[in-house]
A and B are shown apart, each in its own frame.
Chain A
Amino acid sequence: MRVVIAEDQVLLRDGLVRLLRDAGHDVVAEVGDARSLISSVNRERPDLVISDIRMPPTHQDDGARAVSFLRERFPDLAVVMLTQVIEPALVAELSQGRVASFGYLLKDRVLDTDAFLDQLEAVATGGTAIDPIVIDGFVRRDGDRLSRLTEREVDVLSRLASGRSNSGIAADLVISKRTVDAHLRSIFDKLGILSDPEDNQRVLAVLEWITGQP
C-alpha cells in the first residue's frame, strides 16, 4: 500500500513512517505542511493519505482543508485524519457526506499499533474508521435514534463505524458471527437501509449515524 503521511510533529511522523514500513507498506512521501501534502498527493497518487488536521502554515485546520480539496479532486483517495482533540461535529464537515474511504481518529490510536494498522487497511479498501469517541458522541446526543436501537445494536454499530469487520465485532463483543449478522440486519431495518449489497449497506449505516441523513 502506497501511503503519504502529513504530520508536522517530526517525532510522531518518524514513528508513523517506521510503523508503516515495518508493516510492509510503502511510505512514498512524508510532509509537514498542507501545501506539500497537496503537491505530493498530486505527484504520487497514493492509495492512502494520513494527515494531521492542525498543520502549518496557519496551525488552524490547514490539514482538513487540504484533505477536502484533495477528496474533491481525487474522489477515490482514501484518507485518515488524525486529530489531537475529537470534535464530533467536525466529522460531518470533514467527510462531506462521503464516509467511504474515510477515517477520523484520535492521534492516541497509533499506539494500539495493530488496531491502527487494521483501521488504515479498512479505510484504504473503501471502509470507514471513525474514532469510537465520535460515535459515542453522536449516538448519545441523538436521543431519538438511540431509542430505536437496542444497546447491543449501538455497540455493534459503533464498532462497525470504527472500521471493524463482522468477525472483529464478534470477537470484541464475545458473540458469534451470526449474532453480529443478525444485529446488523436489525440495524439496517430500523434505519430503513434495505436491498443493497452488504458493503454499501454498512457504509450507509455509518453515514446515517454521522450525518443524520439517510
Chain B
Amino acid sequence: MWRLRRVTGWPYGGTAGWWIAAAAGLALCAWSLTWPWREEEFVLGSGIRVLMAGAGCLLLVLTARASRPTPLTALVGVLGLAVLAYPTQLAGGAAQPDHPIAVTLANAGHVLPLTLVQVLPVLASARVTGRSRRVVVRFIVGIALVGGLLAGLSLTGMPGAGPLAAVSTLLWFCSFVIAPVATWSNLTGIGGEMRRRAIVAALASLVPVVVILWCVSLGIFSTRVGWADNTASWLLMLGFSLGTLGCGVLTLAAIGPAAGRLLERRSIVLTLDLVAAALFVVLGCDAALLASAAQTPDGAAAVLGAVVTLALGLPWLLVHRWITKVVDPATELRHEWASLGDIEDGQARTALLHLLRRTAADPGLTIRYDPGAIGAAEVVLATDDLDLPTVLASTSSPEAADRLRALGDCSSVVRPAWWEDRVARSDDLARRAAEDERRRLSQDLHDGLQGRLLGLALKLTLSARHVADPSVRLVIDETITDLRGAVDDVRALGGGRAPALLVDHGLQPALSSLFRPLGPIVSLSVPRTRWASATEATAYFVIGEAVSNALKHACPDHIEVRVSPLEDLIEVRIQDDGCGGADPQLGSGLRALAERVSVAGGVLVVRENQPRGTVVEAVLPCGS
C-alpha cells in the first residue's frame, strides 16, 4: 500500500480508493438482490443484475490497475462505479415504485454511463493526438444534460410529457453520432503508435453506437413483437453492460502503456472486425424485426435479416485490406518496398523517392538526408537513437504531408536509402580530402622544393663565376646540371594540375600536344568527346603516367593509347611492346595510379601484353 501511496501521492492511494468502492458497490448490489421486485412492467432477474455489477467491478479493477492514474483513468473509474450502481438503482426503483427519488434514480441511472461512453473516447483521442476536442465534449455533455432534463420533466406527468420524452430520446440518440465523427476525423495526418492509439480511441467511440442500436432493436422487438418482457430486459442490460465495459477497456488501452496488447495492429484490426460484425448483426436483426413488425411471415423476416447482415458483411470482408491500410498505412508502404525485391547498389534513394512520391501522390516530393532544421511542409520519416530526424521529406502540399505523417515511423523502409546516402557522403568526403591533399602536395612541391632547388642552383651558378680552378668549376657545373634534373623531376611529380589545354579543349587535343614530342612512338586513338572535367583529368593523368612509366622502364618501340567510351564509363588502355615486368604490388608509380583511379571511382588493371609488353587498363565513370 505504501508503494501505491507513494506512486499516486493520494493519502490512501488512488488504487485503494477504487478497490474500496468496488467492494462497497458489490456489497450493496448483493444486498439489493434481497429486496422485493414490485415493478411488473420491467422485470430484471438477479443473474443479469450480478452480471451488470460484474462489468462495473471489472472496470473499477482495471482503473485501479492502470499504470498511471490520470483524470481520464479516474473518469473510467467513475464509469465503472455508475455501471456497478445501476442494478442497485434499478432494484431500488423496483422495490419502491411509489417513492419518487427511488424511481428517478432508477430511470436516470443510464444517463451518466451512456454520457461517459461518449465523452471518454473523445477525451482519449484528444489526449493521444494532442488535439483539443473540448467543444465536442461540452456539446455531448450539454446534450446529455438537456436530454436528462427533458426526460425528468416528462416523468413529472406535466402536459405534453409524451412528445417531450420522444424529443429527449431522439436528441440523445442523435448525439451518439458526434463521438465517432469527432474521433475518426482526428486520424488525419498522424501515424505510427499515435495513430494506433487514436484508432483504439475511435473504436471505443463506436461501441456506444452498437449498444444504442442494440437497445433500439430490442425496444422495437419488445413493443411490436411481444416477446417476453423478461427476455427483452435482460438482453437490453446485457448490451448495456458489454458496451460500457468495451468502451472503458478500449479507452484505457488507448492511453495505456505502449506495450499494450490492444495497441498491436492485429488486435486493432480484430477489434474493428468484431465491432463491425456486431454492428452488422444488430442491423440484420433490426431489419428482421422491422419486417416482422410489418406483418411479414417470420421465416421471410429471418431471411431478410440474414440477407442484410450478409449484404453488409461481405463488402466489409472485401475492404479488409483497406482497413489494414487505415490502421497502419506504413504496412502498405512496407509491402510495396518488399515487392521491389533486391535493389541495386546506389538505387535505394531513387527507389524510395519514387515510392514516397506515389504514396503521397505528390510528384514534387523531395527527400533530405541531412539532419537539420525541419521546415513547415516537411515530414520526419525516420529518427536516430536520440530522436533526431535522419530522413525528411519535403512535400508540395499539406495533404501530401498528412498522407506521409500517417505513415508514422518508416525506419525499416527508409534505412537502406539512408545508409546509401551516408556511404555516398563519406565517400565524397574522402574523395575531397584526397583531392585537397594532392593539391597541397603539388603546391608544396612546386612552391617549396622546386623553388628552393632553383635557388640553390642559381647561387651555385653565381658562385662558380668567382672560382678560377677549372676542376672545381667542372664539379659545380655538374652539380648544377644535377639540380636542374631534380627540378625537372619535381615538376613531373607534381603533375596534378590539369593543363589549360585539357580544361579548355578536352582530352584529345591535350594528349596530342603532350605526346607530339614523342612522335611515332605513341599512337593515339582518342575520340574528340568531352567528359566531366574530373574524368578527363584522371584519364589524362593515368595516360601520362602510364606512358612515362613505360618509356622509363620498358624501352618500348611502340605505345598504343586508346580511349573508348562505353555507356556511362570510359575505358582507357595503354599498351606497350616493351620488356614488360610491371608489378602493381611494388611499383610506386603504378600504386599512385591505382589510388588515383579508385578515388575517381574507377578500377585499374595491369597485365602482361601478348606476345610482349604491358597493358595498363583503367575504367572510369563519366560522372554525368
Contact = CB atoms under 8 A, between A and B. Distances in A.
B455 A140 contact: no
A43 interface: no
Interface string B446-471: 11101110111111011001000000
Interface stretch (B331-339, B364-372, B494-502): B494-502
A111 B501 contact: no
A141 B513 CA distance: 7
B447 A110 contact: no
Nearest to A91: B500
B487 interface: yes
Interface string A170-185: 0000000000000000
Nearest to A90: B500
Contact of B462 (A15, A87, A107): A15
Contacts of A90: 500
A190 interface: no
B516 A140 contact: yes
Contacts of B459: 11, 14-15, 18
Contacts of B458: 12, 15-16, 18-19, 110-111, 113
Contact of B451 (A9, A18, A113, A141): A9
A196 interface: no
A137 interface: yes
B484 interface: yes
A54 B500 contact: no
Interface string A17-30: 01100100000000
A153 B457 CA distance: 34
A8 B451 CA distance: 9
Q: Do most interface residues of chain A lie in helix, strand or loop, or is the interface mixed? A: helix
A113 to B, nearest CB: 6
B516 A113 contact: no
Interface residues of B, number: 29
Contacts of B623: none
B504 interface: yes
Contacts of B504: 89
A137 B484 contact: no
Interface in A116-157: 137, 140-141
Contacts of A7: 451
A111 B451 contact: no
Given A8-B447, A84-B491, A111-B461, A89 B454 contact: no
Given A14-B455, A15-B459, A15-B462, A84 B500 contact: no
Given A18-B459, A87-B499, A88-B500, A12 B452 contact: yes
B443 interface: yes
A108 interface: yes
A13 B443 CA distance: 18
B90 to A, nearest CB: 94
B251 to A, nearest CB: 70
Among B459, B488, B504, max chain A CB count under 10 A is at B459
B509 interface: yes
A59 B443 contact: yes
A110 B454 contact: yes
B501 A11 contact: no
Contacts of A137: 501, 513
B484 A111 contact: yes
Contacts of B550: none
Interface string B508-519: 010001001000
A11 B451 contact: yes
Contacts of B454: 9, 11-12, 15, 107-108, 110-111
Nearest to B483: A111
B480 interface: yes
B457 A111 contact: yes
Contact of A107 (B448, B450, B456): B450
Given A12-B455, A111-B457, A84 B462 contact: no
Contacts of B488: 108
A103 B509 CA distance: 26
Given A12-B454, A141-B513, A84 B447 contact: yes
Given A22-B462, A59-B447, A137-B513, A11 B455 contact: yes
Contacts of A15: 454-455, 458-459, 462
A111 B513 contact: no
Among A8, A85, A110, A140, max chain B CB count under 10 A is at A85
Interface string A35-56: 0000000000000000000100
Contacts of A18: 458-459, 462
Contacts of B487: 108
Given A113-B462, A140-B513, A89 B455 contact: no
Among A11, A13, A14, A137, max chain B CB count under 10 A is at A11
Contact of A54 (B446, B452, B462, B509): B446
A9 B455 contact: yes
Contact of A113 (B448, B452, B461, B500): B461
Nearest to B446: A84
A12 B456 CA distance: 7
Contacts of A12: 451-452, 454-455, 458
Contacts of A87: 499-500
Contacts of B455: 9-15
A73 to B, nearest CB: 27
Contacts of B452: 9, 11-12
Contacts of B448: 9
A40 B516 CA distance: 43
B501 A88 contact: yes
B402 to A, nearest CB: 51
30 contacts: A9-B454, A9-B455, A10-B455, A11-B451, A11-B454, A15-B455, A15-B458, A15-B459, A15-B462, A16-B458, A22-B462, A54-B443, A54-B446, A59-B443, A84-B450, A84-B451, A85-B491, A85-B497, A87-B500, A88-B500, A89-B500, A107-B451, A108-B454, A108-B487, A110-B454, A110-B458, A113-B458, A137-B501, A140-B516, A141-B509
Given A12-B451, A141-B509, 16 more contacts: A9-B448, A9-B452, A9-B454, A11-B452, A15-B455, A15-B458, A15-B459, A16-B458, A18-B458, A18-B462, A19-B458, A107-B450, A111-B454, A111-B484, A113-B458, A141-B513
Q: Considering the complex of A and B, which 9 residue pairs feature the smallest CB-CB distances, nearest first?
A: A11-B455, A9-B451, A15-B458, A89-B500, A12-B455, A84-B446, A87-B500, A12-B451, A15-B455
